Amino acid sequence: NAGVTQTPKFQVLKTGQSMTLQCAQDMNHEYMSWYRQDPGMGLRLIHYSVGAGITDQGEVPNGYNVSRSTTEDFPLRLLSAAPSQTSVYFCASKTSGTYEQYFGPGTRLTVT
């Protein structure tokens, strides 16, 4: 198993550009989520999904969109990047009803 994979590892955007951060898992996990981590801070939940076709907002959803068309993939879209979205983004997944979440290696995003 590859576990949770994220692409790209690094990305630089200009203000106003759009892009999609990719997240995939091969463990058939129902639950997937996106977090952001700003310097010196803990992780904050952006969006999450409890299964294909179902998504919901977390603590800091503004400026981000998600969709879940398959169990494996959970992309995060930035429609119009802003410098405040400079952060490290982590994707995670787990099986519903279990306790352990599996995190990806992260995407480091800089918006200039």
Count interface residues toward another protein (CB under 8 A): 30
Q: Which residue from 35, 66, 68, 111 is in contact with another protein, where contact means CB under 8 A?
A: 35
The residues with which 93 forms a beta bridge, in sequence order, are: 32, 102
19 counts as binding another protein under rule CB under 8 A? no
Q: Which residue from 18, 28, 84, 98 is in contact with another protein, where contact means CB under 8 A?
A: 98
SS3 87: strand
Whether cis (ω within 30° of 0) applies to the bond prior to 105 is no
**Residue from 28, 8, 32 nearest 106 by CA:** 8
**What is d(CA 3, CA 24) in angstroms, rounded to the nearest whole number?**
8
Q: Which residue from 13, 25, 33, 34 is in contact with another protein, where contact means CB under 8 A?
A: 33
Residues forming contacts to another protein in the complex (CB under 8 A) are 4, 31, 33, 35, 40-45, 48, 50, 58-59, 88, 90, 92, 94, 96-106, 108
